[in-house]
Amino acid sequence: MSDITIQAAQLKVDEWIKTIGVKYFSELTNLGILMEEVGELSRIMVRKYGEQSFKGKEEDLVLGDEMADILFVLICLANQTGVDLTKAFEQNLLKKTNRDKDRHQNNEKLHQ
């Protein structure tokens, strides 16, 4: 499953939900799940890259797996709300490029 597009990922998640997951959880439930998954990613990040140490079996947690959990739930939310993530991402990148093209180049903190 290499080189998967965002559009293909949205279709794969939709197929998985309808065949294995039975149906989508409500949008609010998925939002809560998304927040949980972000918290799990945060826990790994602060222990791996920050000052906190791992507790018990936390060292077995995989960073990529937590990121994939976030992506899966985000795709669920996009599917449920009719968002084409490819189009949204392209528009968002264009917005950031237009808004920030000089801002980051002129930020002395980034050039140290």
Q: Tell me the three state secondary structure of residue 97.
A: helix
Residues of the domain holding 50: 6-84
Q: Give the tokens for residue 26.
A: 């409500």
The percent helix, strand, coil of the chain (3-state, each to 5) is 70, 0, 30
**pLDDT tens per residue across span 22-49:** 999 999 999 999 999 999 999 999 999 9
Is there a domain that residue 74 lies in?
Answer: yes
Is there a domain that residue 59 lies in?
Answer: yes
Residue 60 has pLDDT above 80, yes or no: no
Is there a domain that residue 89 lies in?
Answer: no
CA–CA distances in Å: residue 21 to residues 30, 94, 100:
13, 35, 40
Helix axes 6-19, 85-100, angle to 10 degrees: 140
CA separation for the pair 31, 24 (Å, rounded): 12
The amino acid at 51: E
Is there a domain that residue 99 lies in?
Answer: no
Domain count, the chain: 1
Is there a domain that residue 1 lies in?
Answer: no
Is there a domain that residue 101 lies in?
Answer: no
User: In the structure, what pLDDT confidence band is assigned to residue 6 with cuts at 50, 70 and 90?
Assistant: very high
**pLDDT tens per residue across span 46-56:** 999 999 888 87
CATH of the domain at 42: 1.10.287.1080
Residue found under tokens 């936390």: 58
Q: Tell me the three state secondary structure of residue 50.
A: coil
CA separation for the pair 29, 21 (Å, rounded): 14
- pTM reported for the whole predicted model: 0.87
Is there a domain that residue 16 lies in?
Answer: yes
Residue 1 has pLDDT above 70, yes or no: no
Is there a domain that residue 40 lies in?
Answer: yes
